[in-house]
Amino acid sequence: MSVVNPRIRHVSIDGALFQDEVDARQVMSVPSIYLNDDLFDSGRKGVEEILAKLDTGAAKREAAKMGTKDAFDVLVIGGGPAGAAAAVYAARKGIRTGVASERFGGQVLDTMGIENFISVKETEGPKLARQLEEHVRQYEVDIMNLQRASALVPGSDGLHEVRFESGGSLRAKTVILATGARWRQMGVPGEEQYRNKGVAYCPHCDGPLFKGKRVAVVGGGNSGVEAAIDLAGIVAHVTLLEFDTKLRADEVLQRKLRSLANVEVVLNAQTTEVTGDGQRVDGLVYTDRSSGDSRRVPLEGVFVQIGLLPNTEWLKGSVALSPRGEIEVDAHGRTSVPGVFAAGDATTTPYKQIIISMGDGSKAALSAFDHLIRSSSPAAKLEVREEEAETA
C-alpha cells in the first residue's frame, strides 16, 4: 500500500533480527501490524482485509451488492484448493459460477514447505494460493472474498440459498461446500487465555519469534513432527508431547527427528494446562498416562498440532454430518441434499491433502454440472434454446 500511495509510510521489522523490539512490544504473533504506534491487527492479512477493517461500511455495501446478483448455476463456498478446483471446472463448462470465501487460499496460506504436490518438486503455501486465485480469475468467475457463510437454506423451488455473517445472501441451482478445516484446539485451561501470547498454531509463521527459547509441540503426527523439526533449527529446545504410546508420523520424519540433539520426545502424555504469568506463557503441564503423575515443563511457547476441525458448524441441521462434524459425501461428492455437493477437508473423504482436495473439488463440479443437465429446469431451458434455433 505504501508503494502505490505516497501518503502511507511503512516500516517492516524482522522479529528474528530485532528481538529487543519484539520483547518491548510483547509481540507473540506475526505479522503484528501497528497503526500510528497502536496495535491494529495481528496474523496474516491481505490488502482486502486491511481495507475492510479501515472502511467500516464495506461489509454492509458488499451485503447489499449480493442481493442484486442473479442466481448462480454453481456457487462454491470456500476458496482453498478444493474450492478453486471446483470453480475452474465449473467455469470451463460455460455455466454461471461464483465463489464466496472468507480468504482465498484457505489453510494453504499458513503452510510453508510443500514437497508432495505431484509434478511440483517444492513450493510454498502463499505462492500456491496466489496461483490458485490467478487460475480461477482466468475464467468468468464472480469471486467474493471476506465472506463467512452462516447458514444454508435448501430450496424447494430448485434454488438453494446461502446466508453470510455480513447480512448478505446468494442463491444458486447447485452449491459446492468447500469450507476446509482449521487447527484443532486442545481445550485445556490457559490455551485460549494465552492464544497469540505464546500459544500458536503455525510454526512456520510464529517460530522465529521464539529464537533461542524453549518451546513445546503438542502432537506426534506428520504436522507435529514437521513442526518440531522446523523449530529445532530456531529455538533452544523442543519438547514434543504425544498422547499415544508411539509417534504417528511417517518414518522418514521420525528418523530426522531422532537425529536432532535439542529435541525431547515425551510419549503417553496428556496435556492438561498451559500456564503463564498473566502476560505470556511460562510453562505446560501434562499427565504421564502410564503413571498418572502430573509434570510441568518450563517454556515460552506451545505449538498445537493435533489435527484439524472441519468448518461445518454453520451446516448443522442442513446437511448430514458425521460424528466428527465432517460433511458426509458419496463417491460423486453428493451430500444428503440434492443439488448440494461438498469437497475437501470439510468432508468425510479420507487423507486431508492439498492434491486430494483439488481432485475432490473437480469431481464435485463435474457432479454439479451433471445434476444441472439432468434436472428439469435446465432441460426445459435447453429445449427452448433448441426450438429457437429451429425457428431461426
Residue 135: what pLDDT? 98
pLDDT band at 385; cut points 50, 70, 90: very low
CB atoms within 10 A of CB 78: 31
CA-CA-CA-CA torsion for 363, 365, 366, 370, nearest 10 degrees? 130
CB atoms within 10 A of CB 380: 10
- pLDDT, averaged across the chain: 91
**Is the pLDDT reported for residue 279 higher than 70?**
yes
Catalytic residue among 41, 110, 142, 206: 206
pTM of the model: 0.81
**Is the pLDDT reported for residue 389 higher than 60?**
no
Residue 376: what pLDDT? 59
pLDDT tens for 214-230 read: 999 999 999 899 999 99
Catalytic residue among 14, 55, 70, 205: 205
Q: 60-183+309-391 and 199-306 share one CATH topology? A: yes
Which range scores top for mean pLDDT: 15-19, 106-110, 176-180?
176-180
Catalytic residue check, 250: no
**Is the pLDDT reported for residue 46 higher than 80?**
no
Could you tell me which CATH number the domain at 60-183+309-391 has? 3.50.50.60
pLDDT band at 26; cut points 50, 70, 90: confident
Catalytic residue among 73, 110, 202, 230: 202
Q: Which of 7-11, 98-102, 272-276, 317-321 has the lowest mean pLDDT?
A: 7-11
CATH number belonging to the domain at 199-306, selected among 1.20.120.530, 3.30.460.80, 3.50.50.60, 3.30.70.270: 3.50.50.60
**Cell for 177?**
461446500
Q: What residues does each domain of the chain span?
A: 60-183+309-391, 199-306
Catalytic residue check, 202: yes
**Is the pLDDT reported for residue 382 higher than 60?**
no
